Amino acid sequence: MIDLDFLSLLPAFGGVIWTVVAFVVALSVIVAIHEYGHYIVGRWSGIHADVFSIGFGPVLWSRYDKRGTKWQFAALPFGGYVKFAGDANAASGKDEGAMAEVAADPVALRRTMHGAPLWARAATVAAGPVFNFILSILVFAIVGYSSGIMRDPLTVGELRPLPAEVQELQVGDVVLEINGAEVPSIMEDAYADFIEDLPKFATLDYTIERDGSRMVVQGPYLRPPLVNNVTPQSAALAADLERGDVITEVDGKPIFSFAQIKDAVESSDGRSLNLTVWRDGTLLSKVLTPKRVDEPQQEGGFATQWRIGIASGNAFEPATERPGVGQAVLGGVTQTWTIINGSISGLGHMITGAISTCNLSGPIGIAQVSGTMASQGVQSFVWFIAVLSTAVGLLNLFPIPALDGGHLVFYAYEAVTGKPPPDGALRVLMAVGLALVLSLMVFALGNDLFCP
């Protein structure tokens, strides 16, 4: 079978180039969806779009559609825009006389942004962030549907290569008990406690059901110190840990569970750790220095912990089954809302000083994460695009002039007072909003350059 996960091969062509390409692709997709939301809802609302642009600066390619909208790609692929009829833009080619003619024609005026009803303008502006959220929900739903959910009860789906002395489990085994303790439903909170309470031995007794028969076999610890995923910008990534690696020793002490490596990292107080790593039958030596990470908690707030940036996994790939379409979409909505809620909470904690402002990444940090996620495969990269799309949609809803949220505040003012804010006040507010946005960008860029 041909491996279609070609993205994992491309980093060899150059780390910096690969990072830039991944960032541009991710940003272009998100911007295109965001601007298309503005465009299509504006069109549905009777507002004409003069230009739909991906990128800024010199135009590389363009064409006009049958509605008279110019679709173009520009040389600087770090954003995009939709210019609606009546927008103030020197590139529009309309002089003051032409604009006066439009203002005198009620039909032509209705097709402009400023001449459209309040509801049409508000819907058009809100559509950009909403389409970002829709993109995220669809991606999360599709990934969740294609990946499936763990089968209940716990069932062996695929065996993983591990440095275990005994492995008697087989694909299709239904795990009933481990070391005499009944395995709870994976849907219950008790499942996590069950794993935590397992004795930390290299080999455990599994009571299984195989081909209709109940038997006891031996297998590795259920949650071994296995690297199931590597976090971008982490100590593990810097030390070249890879998915599938198994940590067998920490500072010369043998370990058998992921909980043991977690305990060693959390108690390190930032001290470098000497790891012995098993990779495809070969033992490697790695030195990692944990980083302090602010992690969101289920009960709310954040906790600061030492982390090396790896995620755990079972000793075997659990068997999965496809969820229903409704369940997958609900999962996409839940994931999107979790990101929104966590982002708002994180921003609030940064403002109050409860967590470090280094949690705010700028373009360099985002580009680095883009490259890392792309190098881990198509699914990881697409997942990251969905996460970033949620963040872009949320950012644009902030009530800052120059952002979509600021325009919505102006429209709310107009709805209450019956008239738009004065032109002088709008110019001042837009200048202030632009200064705030630029200041935030500079601050985030400083984090990329100077935060550890």
Catalytic site residues?
Answer: 35
Candidates 13, 111, 129; CA nearest to 69 is: 111
Measured between alpha carbons, how far is 148 from 320 in angstroms, rounded to an integer?
Answer: 5
DSSP class of residue 226 equals: B
Going by C-alpha positions, the residue among 402, 363, 407, 369 that lies closest to residue 385 is: 369
Q: Which of 71, 70, 53, 48 is nearest to 120 (CA)?
A: 48
- Residues linked to residue 226 through DSSP beta bridges, in sequence order: 246
Q: Which residues contact 243 (CB under 8 A, 6 or more apart)?
A: 227, 228, 229, 230, 376
- Of the candidates 307, 320, 309, 315, the residue with the CA atom closest to the CA atom of residue 263: 307
Kindly state the helix (H) or strand (E) to which residue 337 belongs, with its residue range.
Answer: helix 325-352
Nearest CA to 396 out of 25, 80, 72 is that of 80
C-alpha radius of gyration, the chain, whole number:
27
Give the residue carrying structure tokens 């507010």: 429
How many whole angstroms separate alpha carbon 9 and alpha carbon 387?
23
Sign of CA dihedral 344, 348, 354, 358: positive
Sequence-distant (6+) residues with CB within 8 A of 378 are: 4, 5, 7
Asked if residue 118 lies in contact with residue 135, where contact means CB atoms within 8 angstroms, the answer is no
User: How many other β-carbons are positioned within 10 Å of the β-carbon of residue 89?
Assistant: 13
Please provide the DSSP assignment of 18-68 as one string.
HHHHHHHHHHHHHHHHHHHHHHHHHHHTTPPEEEEEEEEEEEEEEEE-TTS
Tell me if 92 sits within 8 A of 70, measured CB to CB: no
- Residue 418 in contact with residue 335, Cβ under 8 Å? no
